[in-house]
Structure 1
Amino acid sequence: MLEYAFILTFIFVTALAGFYFKLLSMSGSLAAFTIGMAVGWGFGLRGLLVLGFFFASSSFWSKFKSKQKIKVEDKHEKGSRRDWHQVAANGGIAGIASILYLVYPSPVWLIGFLISIASANSDTWASEIGSLSKKPPLAIRTLKPAETGTSGAVSLLGTFAAMAGASAIALISFFLFDLTPFEALFILAFGFAGNVIDSFTGAYLQAIYKCNVCGAEVEKLNHCGKKTSLIGGKRFADNDFVNFFAGLASTALGMLLYILMT
């Protein structure tokens, strides 16, 4: 009983702190609390520590050298303060895996949970750290230089950051959940794969708009006070959709392979 009281307090304080420090909107804070409760029920304090590391590290990197990222944020629909859509896109799969583990205890749900967090962490580190690269990223579709912050464009710094992000979750999971070295490497590989899937989905499916005032290519529905025009991708595929799809795809593939191999 004492453990559950501590877990509830931990989740509540974390969600409240996220709102207080303007890392989360009110809806984002409520979504974080909900997902935290699911993870706490399913995987206890150890699961919350993995989720907490993702939240803390992603928040840190989103604020790191934020002045250099102002131009990048202008391209995106949302800023660094996450709403419930963004929280669900990055943590929703982890929450679902936690509930399913609670109902149907099986190691495969733990692997799915950890892959989903590794994927989200890999993608977040790639985006936030990669945007600080001194060299422009290369667009996947054309292999030509693109503006920093362009979805579907990759840089060497961002790729190393993605690998580091997945590795960090795999390493923490290895010690917290007493995984085998193979399982830790498995989580690392599919966590990084989530970032790769995100990049390709962003390149070929994510909606791109053009500002009718300044002519800039952005991911926003409105820019310079006017509605933008869709010039590429699918209207439904915003950044939240891409993040969720990439996490779901890497998690599902990882779980399927894990079942076949065990």
Structure 2
Amino acid sequence: MSIYYIIESAVLLILLFVLALKFRIFDLKGTIAALIVGVIIVVLGSLYWLILMLIFAITAQMATKYRIKEKTKMKLQEGENGERHASNVIYAAVIGIAIAAMHFAKIGGFPYFLIFGVSFASVNADTFASEIGVFDSKVYMITGFKKITPGVNGGVSLLGEGAALLGAFIIGLSYIILDFHGFAIIPLLAITILGFVGCQIDSILGAVFENKGKMSKGQVNAVSTLLAVALAFVIFI
């Protein structure tokens, strides 16, 4: 690890910390947790991995802050004003950290950076779907397609599904720019589709387990991401 790599990483980590506090992406504990996760990713992955995670954090927060005053009136906002907590950070990043650890240990010959992208595409797709989809009046339960109130776990809508695709696509596009420095259709489609699939799994788990109090929101996020990543591993065996 060169001195230049350490300096560049430190600058990005400081940027992450400052942006998180300035724009209230996380509360204080969440910001510290994000900083720790960033350090782990820098050590186990690379600078590009950290940049991809930063893109996720920034775009997810943009979706979270979208029409935040209206969401607050509807009592559907994260935290008091869209900020997320340490538990949100941990559940969102735990699968990505595991992938980075496998990459660092050189287990198998998998495209770990791409699979890392899938993990955050899944989380970003879910974030976009839940934060933007609540403004669609036509929401249906994914398990029975019964019309429900916006914001209920397991609810899907045309606006939410479109937002989910956008969230996953942003991560896929960011990945190919970082890894290929240009356009590459196969990895772009792989990350976008698998991220979108992860979001659908999240909705199913939310409908079947979270609504019954058998899983927390964070657990649903982590398990749905894990299943999307497991599918990616199966595809690339």
Fold in common (TM above 0.5) = yes
The answer as to whether partners of 1:112 and 1:252 remain within 8 angstroms in 2 is no
Asked if the contact 2:78–2:84 (Cα under 8 Å) also holds between the matched residues in 1, the reply is no
**Equivalence map 1:104-183=2 (5 Å):** 104=106, 106-133=109-136, 135-178=137-180, 180-183=184-187
- Residues 78 and 239 (structure 1), Cα distance of their counterparts in 2 relative to 1, 3 Å cut: farther
In 2 relative to 1, CA 144–174 (structure 1 residues): closer, same or farther, beyond 3 Å? Answer: same
Contact in 2 for aligned 1:123/1:195 (Cα 8 Å): yes
> CA, structure 1 residues 180+17, in 2 after alignment: closer, same or farther (shift >3 Å)?
closer
How many aligned residue pairs are there? 232
After superposing the two structures, state which structure 1 stretch, 153-162 or 31-40, moved more.
Answer: 31-40
Structure whose CA Rg is larger:
1
Task: Please give the alpha-carbon distance, in whole angstroms, between the structure 2 residues aligned to 1:146 and 1:155.
Answer: 10
Aligned to 2:98: 96
Q: Aligned residue for 1:198? A: 202
CA deviations 1:99-139 (Å, max 9, x no partner) are 22122164432232111011111111111111122x23111
Q: Give the Cα separation in 1 of the matches to 2:197 and 2:50.
A: 23
2:220 to 237, 242, 247: 242
Secondary structure of the equivalent of 1:22?
A: coil
Tell me how large the CA RMSD over aligned residues is: 2.1
Matching residue of 1:215: none
Letter in 2 for 1:183: P
Specify the SS of the correspondent of 1:82: coil
TM-score (norm. length: structure 2): 0.90
Q: CA–CA distance in 2 between the matches of 1:185 and 1:58? A: 20
| 1:4 aligned residue | 6
Q: 1:76 to 1:61 in 2, by over 3 A?
A: closer
Show the counterpart of 1:218: none
Instruction: Flag structure 1 segments of 5+ consecutive residues without an equivalent.
Output: 209-231
The 2-side partners of 1:113 and 1:57 are apart by: 17
Unmatched segments (≥5 aa) in structure 2: none
Query: 1:36/1:3 Cα in 2 relative to 1: closer, same or farther (>3 Å)?
Result: same
Which of 29, 35, 38 aligns to 1:36? It is 38
* Identity level (%): 26
Quick one: structure 1 residues 78 and 141, their matched pair in 2 at CA, closer, same or farther if it must change by over 3 Å? Answer: farther
TM-score by length of 1: 0.81
**Bigger mean CA deviation after superposition, 63-72 or 119-128:** 63-72
Q: Distance in 2 between matches of 1:66 and 1:74?
A: 9
